[in-house]
Amino acid sequence: MLQVAFIRENKELVVERLAKRNINAVEMIGDVITFDEDRRRLQAELDTTLAESNRLSKEIGNLYKSGAVEEANALKEKTSLLKDSSKELAELLNSKTEALTELLYKIPNIPNEIVPRGNSELDNEEIFAAGDVPKLHSKALPHWELAKKYDIIDFELGNKITGAGFPVYKGKGARLQRALIAYFLDKNTAAGYTEYQLPLLVNEASGIGTGQLPDKEGQMYHVTEDNLYLIPTAEVPGTNIFRDVVLGESELPVCITGYTPCFRREAGSYGAHVRGLNRLHQFDKVELIRVEHPSKSYEALDGMVDHVKDILKELKLPYRILRLCGGDTSFASALTYDFEVFSTAQDRWLEISSISNFETFQANRLKLRYKNKDGKNELAHTLNGSSLALPRVLAGILENYQTEAGIVIPDVLQSYTGFSIID
């Protein structure tokens, strides 16, 4: 959530940056400032009224002590009116504050200055590419056909048990999935991230804290009776560890990693482009989360990008990195880099990781602060990234490593799988 003080002091900048998201925010930002002015005015009136009421209460006490009962009783009538007035002002203030907060919840983060303006993924900028696209044999298959051929993923069984988008991994497919999780976690912990095992259900406050609510309420599975939500990513429970926390400056950065299943309704997702593992309602992901000093967060973002590059280099998968345009950047992010692996059998790029800097947007919602050297509390910066999302990495491995003899396992994973080929 954007800070009101920042909006007041940088009105033109906020409007200009939100235009990168194709949002005309002039009226909305004007409303924020008007609501805030009303709130400040009401707060000042309430403070004045309460101060006067307290002053008169003390004076009444002194009058009773001195025997001036009639004068004291006259003032009591005045304090009664002041109490009614303060109650009315408090109700108006609460109403105005709630309206301001609801409006702020609707405003996305402002994009970083280097974010390109654009409408969709077609306007994203490719900034890096690496790896050689393999030349497959003439009978090469997409991963959903390979999964059926080698009996390693059963999409129909998952559909029977739950529904579309809930695959069942079997045999070497399940072991390869487990190997990827262990490999990603080992890489992350070796890089200085502390591993956490996190809840898969979160409360409403946690969803609001990271920006999934109220913006993406329709995309989250909701357990209505308990008002809990299945997590769309480990980012939500992981970042909420620090909700209402004040860290010492010497404690920064905080770096955590965790594996979780993730759940997304993906309403309206149909067609060949979401076939197989390309888009699921339940999938596994290993996440990176960082809490950073504001002056070091973009250096940390670059470090996270380099970390994921190293993983893909070891997996020997062809990939590229995109800087997302304003229209494709998530609600809470200031700057996002997407990693995509090339699926040779499908002849298309598949997104496998998003790495984002949220600056103070999440921290403001979370009330996540650090105490600077002067003893003043300031908002920290939060970052997160997939390291990595498994379905499309697995799809990339199955398709790009297929041979006529079977699917070769990348060298770096063979000590985890215990086998070198799926045949």
Question: Is residue 113 assigned to a domain?
Answer: no
Q: Which of 72, 106, 140 is the last residue of a domain?
A: 106
CATH code (residue 230) = 3.30.930.10
Q: What is the CA radius of gyration of the chain?
A: 27
Find the domain containing 394 and state its range: 121-422
In which element (H, E) is residue 335 found? strand 335-343
Band of pLDDT at residue 273, cut at 50, 70 and 90: low
Q: 24 among the known binding-site residues?
A: no
Choose the final residue of a domain: 106, 137, 156.
106
CATH number at residue 94: 1.10.287.40
Smallest CA-to-CA distance from 172 within 193, 195, 149, 188 is with 149
266 and 159 inside one domain: yes
Residue 112 lies in a domain: no
Strand order in the sheet with 222-223: 201-203, 228-230, 222-223
Residues 6+ positions from 318 with CB-CB distance below 8 Å: 129, 130, 131, 132, 133, 134, 341, 342, 344, 400
pLDDT the model gives residue 76 = 82
Q: What was the pLDDT predicted at 67?
A: 84
CA atoms of 242 and 234, how far apart (whole Å): 14
- Reading the block at residue 132, the tokens are 């050689």
Query: What is the predicted pLDDT for the residue at 71?
Result: 83
237: in domain = yes
- Examine the domain organization and report whether 265 and 369 are in the same domain: yes
Backbone region of residue 238 per phi and psi (left: phi > 0; alpha: psi in -120 to 50; beta: other values): alpha
Q: Is the dihedral of CA 181, 184, 189, 193 positive or negative?
A: negative
Measure the CA–CA gap between 157 and 292, rounded to whole angstroms: 44
233 is in an annotated binding site: yes
pLDDT in tens, 254-265: 999 999 999 999
Look at residue 268 in the predicted model and tell me its pLDDT.
Answer: 53
Match 């309420």 to its residue by tokens. 217
Same-domain pairing of 153 and 93: no
Per DSSP bridges, beta strands 254-263 and 194-195 are: parallel
As a whole number of angstroms, the longest Cα–Cα distance in the chain is 107
CA neighbor of 283 nearest in space, from 207, 196, 392: 392
Q: Is 297 annotated as belonging to a binding site?
A: no
Condensed to tens digits (0 to 9), the pLDDT of residues 340-372 reads 999 988 999 999 999 999 999 999 999 999 999
Task: Tell me if 312 sits within 8 A of 340, measured CB to CB.
Answer: no
Same-domain check for residues 101 and 139? no
Per the annotation, does 351 bind a ligand?
yes
In a domain, 37, yes or no: yes
Quick: pLDDT tens for 205-253: 999 999 999 876 678 999 999 999 999 999 999 999 999 999 999 999 9
CA distance 254 to 17: 29
Cβ atoms of 82 and 48 closer than 8 Å: no
Q: For residue 329, what are its two tokens? A: 């950047």
For 8-61, the pLDDT digits (tens) are 999 999 999 999 999 999 999 999 999 999 999 999 999 999 999 889 888 888
Cβ contact 216:153 at 8 Å: no
Q: Within this chain, do residues 347 and 395 fall inside the same structural domain, yes or no?
A: yes
Helix (H, G, I), strand (E, B) or coil at 203: strand
Could you tell me if 166 and 87 lie in one domain?
no
β-strand pairing of 168-169 with 153-154: antiparallel
In a shared domain, residues 207 and 274 = yes
Please indicate if the annotation marks 384 as binding a ligand: yes
Q: Are residues 128 and 277 in the same domain?
A: yes
- Mean pLDDT rounded to a whole number for the chain: 95
In this structure, is residue 115 part of a structural domain? no
CA 329/CA 120 separation, integer angstroms: 9
Do the strands 381-389 and 282-292 form a parallel or antiparallel pair, or are they unpaired? Answer: antiparallel
- The annotation status of 266 as a binding-site residue, yes or no, is yes
Instruction: Tell me whether residue 116 is in a domain.
Output: no
341 and 399 both lie in a single domain: yes
Residues 150 and 100 occupy one common structural domain: no
In a domain, 97, yes or no: yes
User: Do residues 334 and 363 share a domain?
Assistant: yes
- Among 106, 125, 99, which Cα is nearest to 18's? 106
Q: What is the pLDDT of residue 230?
A: 97
Same domain for 246 and 283: yes
In the chain, count H helices and then E strands: 13, 18
Q: What percent of the chain has pLDDT above 90?
A: 88
The number of distinct structural domains making up the chain is 2
The answer to whether residue 312 is domain-embedded is yes
Is residue 209 within 8 Å of 363, Cβ to Cβ?
Answer: no
